[in-house]
Homo-oligomer: A and B are copies of this chain.
């Protein structure tokens, strides 16, 4: 008989209260996979979304949510060369078609999407990084290719993706303007933002223009959605680059006449990006904003907080002992 494990199962779509702690069989790693004992799992807005509807990801309940993990390698598939039992690792499990996320004591994951955990971080801090930090890295480093001295406007700078984005943009040598609500203005400054903007009371585009002497910012990264891109175009210079992780609303007037480029960003899984981020983390240039750590059994509370949309930093689930 297979060994068992604790896991949070989504038995049907619904509110936070549908999530159930169950005993499942431990997964068996395929030749290209690692078996990881999950110590901590991050939680993300996408999980709250999938709790209610996961058809877009090719999933129907029951399945196990969870797209952020840090843990310890327990077993190694026959064709895996780069990892050994006992390695501490972090990763973001695949979303599309994956019924076994990281809200579970054990995960079987392709070695190609795994990297060694940053040494300077606890498992709880590391579990907050892969999905949100990876999305920020993908946007700023690979797609927007921010250059030293550029001015970057980050919408939602105190949020999951945004808090990493502010730090990564700073590490790239940019001057950072970032938006958040009134109560997170100091959080923005603590993360390194040069200018903190209150999106509710300030005219964000006007501040961005004023801070660039009317020239407009070089780069915009939108992690909050809505009409942020539409409103940012007039505050971005000719040949400026914009990116969003959501579907922009409104008409993109000016994008063509100003020769601007808009990148859509969605994270594809891979180990290399996590290795690059681990270097930055161990150099002390990138940290996680962890709001609180909850035991796995308190997953409903974690999802209630995700639903409220008003947390500052990550809620991390403690899955097993480190």
A residues at B contact (CB < 8 Å): 56, 143, 244-249, 251-266, 268
Contact = CB atoms under 8 A, between A and B. Distances in A.
Instruction: Give chain A's interface secondary structure class.
Output: loop
A261 to B, nearest CB: 5
B261 A266 contact: no
Contacts of A244: 255-256
Number of identical monomers bound together in the oligomeric complex:
2
Contacts of A252: 247-248, 252, 264
Nearest to A253: B247
A259 B264 contact: yes
A264 B261 contact: yes
Given A261-B261, A261-B263, A264-B261, A245 B251 contact: no
Contacts of A56: 257
A254 B247 CA distance: 7
B261 A256 contact: no
B268 A259 contact: yes
Contacts of A266: 256-259
- What 9 A-B pairs have minimum CB-CB distances, sorted nearest first? A256-B264, A255-B264, A262-B262, A261-B263, A257-B266, A260-B264, A247-B253, A259-B266, A256-B266
